[in-house]
Amino acid sequence: MRGFAVSRAQEMRSAAVSYKSLYSFGRKADDGDEPLANLTVVGEKLYGTTEIGGETTQFCFLGCGSVFFVTTSGAQSVTYRFKGGADGALPAAGLLSLNGKLFGTTNGGGNAAACSGGCGTVFALGADGKTEKILHRFTGGTDGANPVAGLVALNGTLYGTTQYGGKRAQLCATGCGTIFSITPDGKERVIYRFGGGTDGAFPTARLTTVAGALDGTTEFGGITTTLCAQGCGTLFRASPSGTKKTLHAFKYSTASRDGAYPAAGIVAMGGKLYGTTLGGGEHGDGTVYAANESANGERVIHSFSCCSSSVDGRYPLSHLSVLSGTLYGTTHLGGAKNLGAVFSVTPSGRERVLYSFLGKPDGEEPQAGLTMLNGFFYGTTSAGGVFSEGSIFKLSP
């Protein structure tokens, strides 16, 4: 339901937040299109990726994607354009800044025959964009395939997930996904292969390091209900050596208003883990949840309730950010125009919509979370902007 009436009180709440659209993709030729991932701070610049756009090649008729930076004043520059084939293509994830380099993944490219369009890559890039190196080309099968999440660093080693590949199961014809490690010089090893079913399947979110462990989510698998035919998803913890346990299996059903389909990762605060689910909750519009760091003990602290009688968000896809004990995030839809929103929520569950995206020439449909720099949040929208190719925005907390 787009365009329903917005009350004067709701308008005043939005007006109290300082918001600015910094850049619209499409302003310059080959500047990228459809940013899906969080921005990464390097000095006074914010680096990010676009899934398509950039250089058009025989492998990518819409462009293979790009790496860019933007300044806090909105000046944008592309530092690298992927080429597909043996190079990467379609970066859906954000970047990791480590030792003067940017590390990331691409969902496609790599030229592996096991996957149409390639099984994806891990790459390293100099911040100036002049030195790009493919560290690993995924091969599918028992190796991973198609990473859509970024990397984390733990004790000098990088860790990530692939959405597919690994172990096949009844509902995972191309594999249920993996956790992998890779050294900065490119030595890769699969440390865990998801088994589907109660074990979880299809990890799509970046891992989080908590007390020397790797915490993450699988979007599917876990408990199967009448509302979750492939499982409602799981929250898990893995050791760097690959020992894994499920901390929570989501159980959205007609009898339970738990969350379902955690497409985003988690953040640790005050001894608890906080995250979002794309579906489930009181209204099926998604949730914010809190879980114990040890197994057992999860509760929904907010159920999103768009759109017939409120301007709340709907379908959160991004991880949460923490500032002064409050959680901040975005929803893909919902808000005043059902085009996405920025929200805050306290650990006790008090939630507030800070900004509703308005569509062209403003942004719309954010998939990424928020990044803090110099007292402001920065983020991207996957669509909208002046040229309908996505945007970068700035927001006061």
Q: How confident is the model at residue 71 (pLDDT cuts 50, 70, 90)?
A: very high
Q: Which of 10, 158, 22 is nearest to 96 (CA)?
A: 158
Residue 129 clears pLDDT 90, i.e. is over it: no
Give 189's strand partners: 181
Q: How confident is the model at residue 161 (pLDDT cuts 50, 70, 90)?
A: very high
> How confident is the model at residue 12, as a pLDDT?
38
> How confident is the model at residue 359, as a pLDDT?
95
10-44 pLDDT, tens digit each: 443 444 679 999 999 998 888 999 999 999 999 99
> How confident is the model at residue 128, as a pLDDT?
83
Name the pTM for this structure.
0.93
* Average pLDDT of the residues in 131-151: 96
Give first-to-last CA distance, the chain, whole Å. Answer: 27
* Average pLDDT of the residues in 128-155: 95
Query: Domains along the chain?
Result: 198-356 (2.120.10.30)
185-198 pLDDT, tens digit each: 999 999 999 999 99
Q: Which of 236, 193, 200 is nearest to 221 (CA)?
A: 200
Order of all β-strands in the sheet with 152-154 = 152-154, 157-162, 178-182, 188-193
> How confident is the model at residue 42, as a pLDDT?
96
Q: How confident is the model at residue 93 (pLDDT cuts 50, 70, 90)?
A: very high
* Average pLDDT of the residues in 200-216: 97
Give 372's strand partners: 377
> How confident is the model at residue 112, as a pLDDT?
78
d(CA 357, CA 345): 18
Q: Going by DSSP bridges, is the β-strand pair 108-109/101-106 parallel, antiparallel, or unpaired? A: unpaired
> How confident is the model at residue 295, as a pLDDT?
72
